Structure 1
Amino acid sequence: MDLTTFHSLMGGPLRSALTVLVSALLVTVVAIGVHRVGLSLLTRLANGRPFTTTVTRVAFRSSQLCVIIFGLRMVLAGAPDDTPGLVAMSHLANVALIVGLTWLAMQCIQSLSITISEINPVDAVDNIRARRLITQARVLTRSAHAVVVMLGISFVLLTLPGARQIGASLLASAGVAGLVAGIAARPVLGNFIAGLQIAFSQPIRIDDVLIVNGEWGKVEEIKGTYVVVRVWDERRLIVPLQWFIENPFENWTHSSSMLHGTVFLWLDFSIPLEPLRAELKRICEAAPQWDGRACTVVAFDANERAMRVRFLVSAENSDEVFALRYLVREQMLAFITANYPHGLPRVRATHDPISVQAMQAENDSAPSMLHKA
């Protein structure tokens, strides 16, 4: 390579590439500085507002990436036409900007959900409103994430040179492919629609107490396609969202977290109920779980052997009503055993004199019959 050729290269594409590279480095540094200053000003102007504080924390990386890519895109837009690989780098910057904006939108949506959860804690005594809002926020957040991702992928595909040809091919086979995709994606679409129904109609909410297929548990998480129910023994039930739309189930905390608890005991007919009522009142007044609403004893049922006595108590939530039921059952059994030992169910037998005499006569005649034989 002679000196003239070297100077021509230095004055042409190579010089343009070096200029773009140096400009990109400078713009990256400036973009990082501008991003930090902008977030600091935004935090001060927000004056402690929950959403702004959360979004500046959650969307820090995604917003920084968008600012940097936007600066690089401006550098490439002003680069000389003879810069090597300018078209490919411009296309890559466009795709990266779309991905960054998609990530930023998802982080902003997630920040909104986190803000709602922080403003409405579920550990309050009356948390019906908080659980309703958190359930709606989480389900709608996942649905919004899916929509944003689909839009981002669509915009990326539009930047590809062959996107129109791919779209035309897909439209040509839409008849068969649509039928196959509809059949294959029916469970997914069904759960997606069920998630929207649950978000608005709310048959279940976060931290609701449910009876699902005979299992007692709490709603721990509502995902995009299924619900996680935490059973009392720390097991997890994974239930599809659509199941809650199509099947009946028990929700103990749908309208209120306060519950009634019942304890049933089979007792003998001879036991008086008034001492049991006094003892139940004493137990409830001494129990920290009792909320003072219900404390009754009634003969709920009876059969030919015993009566079924119901002890009704109440508490503020499901955990406390379970603990109160265990306490009432244990102390009532101890009270009955100590003071009325005959009060537990017994099996009675009757003595019929005529039947006994007939059996004795039959036994007396048996040896004589054998002697004659």
Structure 2
Amino acid sequence: MADFFPDLERLRLLVYTVGVVLGSLLLGWLLKRLAFWLLGAYHRREPSLLAQSVLLHLSQPSAWFIPILVLSFLLPLTYLDGRALEVARRLVETALLATFAWGLVKTVDVVEDLVQHHYRLTDDDNLRVRKLFTQLQFVKKLAITLIIFVATALILMNFATVRKIGTGLLTSAGIASVIIGFAAQRSISNLLAGFQIAFTQPIRLDDVLVVEGEWGRVEEITFTYVVLRIWDERRLVLPLNYFIEKPFQNWTRTTAQLLGTVFLYTDYTIPVEAVRAELQRVVQSNPLWDQRVCVLQVTDSKERTLELRCLVSASNSSRAFDLRCAVREQLVGFIQQHYPASLPKTRTLVEAQDQPFMPAPSED
């Protein structure tokens, strides 16, 4: 009977401790629900991008972080002592650091939403915006990496067996030794190339490039590679070093405006002025033309044909391509309809006396 009361007392302490833990977590969850309910009510009354982004990105991290934060404050109220309290404290601190780092990562997404809302990448003249977004994407990835790195180091410092590792990672000497140790690796050279690309910007997000004979737009720039979206929906993946070490064409480096060429090959009898006037009529009625350049010139005279070059301008490469196709189609139709005799032809002169099948002249 004497042993029964100590067991009952231990059970009471266990139930009390579990109650404190569960009550703390429940209280934190209720605080989170209340805070986000108030924020949602404010957003419904006065729509705000900041409130919308916080509700979208920080709801899940807060559902873990706030209850664990409340538990860390109320943990001393439990009857845990000695080793049990130390183990519980370290577990709570580890969970708190992990959820806090998760919240910081999602906060970076909130900042990205605010910047993207303020600057529109879909505008026609978006050179400045593409510069900013290229830097923003790289800085975002770098910030997330640093958050995870520091959080991991702080978690390691909670444990005596690996505290030296955590401390070393947070010191400049430790970071320098890690960088030096991997500097010879190709991945680190790509990372350094990423810094160079992000701030010198030979390429930017949504730039139009011609690489390895492929035409496409820059879809993504990561720490180690660039994804190029080809015109036919394929993806070309290239290492960052490629854009530092090899030549490539960037059609939107300073402006998206572009000149497009259309070559026509006709007979020497073509009336060039009539075709030039038709070119003017075609481009003036086409909304793809930006009204900068419209020129037709005879750029070559070959053995059997004349080479006519039509030079037209558009606000970007996609419009220039479509405009070229329209000009080519309509000018070919114009020549077929009005000057069919001026289509390319091959002439052969045959002397009559050289024909064995010709009948002999009559003696009458």
TM-score if structure 2 supplies the norm length?
A: 0.84
Structure 1: distance between partners of 2:180 and 2:257: 49
Aligned to 1:338: 337
Aligned to 2:17: 20
Unaligned runs of 5+ in 2: 170-174, 357-364
Tell me the SS of whatever aligns to 2:21. helix
Q: String of CA shifts for 1:72-122, please: whole Å, max 9, x gaps.
A: 122223333448833222211111111111111111112211222233232
**Structure 2 equivalent of residue 217 of structure 1:** 216
Shift in Å, 1:203: 1.9
Q: Do the aligned partners of 1:20 and 1:75 also contact (CA within 8 Å) in 2?
A: no
**In structure 2, distance between residues paired with 1:326 and 1:188:** 43
Distance 2:102 2:233 in 1: 35
User: 1:146 — aligned with what?
Assistant: 145
Alignment of 1:190-205 (within 5 A): 190-205=189-204
Matched position secondary structure for 1:297? strand
Cα RMSD of the aligned pairs, angstroms, is 3.3
Distance across 2 between alignment mates of 1:73 and 1:25: 12
Match of 1:74 in 2: 73
Whether the 8 Å CA contact 1:296–1:313 is kept in 2: the answer is: yes
Of residues 14, 28, 33, the one that matches 2:30 is 33
Cα distance in 1 for residues equivalent to 2:205 and 2:168: 44
* Structure 2 residue matching 1:162: 3-state secondary structure: helix
Closer/same/farther in 2, CA of residues 27 and 180 from structure 1, 3 Å limit: closer
Q: 81-90 vs 30-39, which deviates more?
A: 81-90
In 2, Cα distance between equivalents of 1:76 and 1:301: 88
Taking a change above 3 Å as real, the CA distance of residues 51 and 198 of structure 1, as seen in their structure-2 partners, is farther
Q: Confirm or deny: 8 A CA contact 2:190 2:223 kept in the other structure.
A: yes
Identify which range, 206-215 or 250-259, moves more after superposition: 250-259
1:204-243 aligned at under 5 Å gives the runs 204-243=203-242
**Residue of structure 1 equivalent to 2:359:** none
Instruction: Describe the SS at the equivalent of 2:8.
Output: helix
What one-letter code is carried by the residue in structure 1 that aligns with 2:78? A
Identity %: 35
- From the superposition, tell whether residues 136 and 269 of structure 1 become closer, same or farther in structure 2 (CA, over 3 Å): same
1:10 paired residue number:
8
Cα 1:165–1:119 change in 2 (3 A) is closer
**Residue of structure 2 in register with 1:367 after alignment:** none
Higher Rg: 1
Letter matched to residue 152 of structure 1? A
Number of equivalent positions = 350
1:267-286 equivalences under 5 Å are: 267-286=266-285
Q: Deviations over 1:172-211 (max 9, x none)?
A: xx9x99877444xx22212222222222222222222111
Q: What does the per-residue CA deviation read over 1:125-174, in whole Å, with 9 as the maximum and x for residues that have no partner?
A: 2222222222221121111111111111111111122114657999xxx9
Task: Provide closer, same or farther for how the CA distance between residues 339 and 282 of structure 1 changes in structure 2, counting only shifts above 3 A.
Answer: same
Q: Secondary structure at the match of 1:205?
A: coil
Structure 2 Cα separation of the partners of residues 37 and 258 of structure 1: 52
Identify if the C-alpha distance between structure 1 residues 345 and 299 changes in structure 2 by more than 3 Å, giving closer, same or farther: same
Alignment CA distance shift 1:190-1:107 (3 Å): same
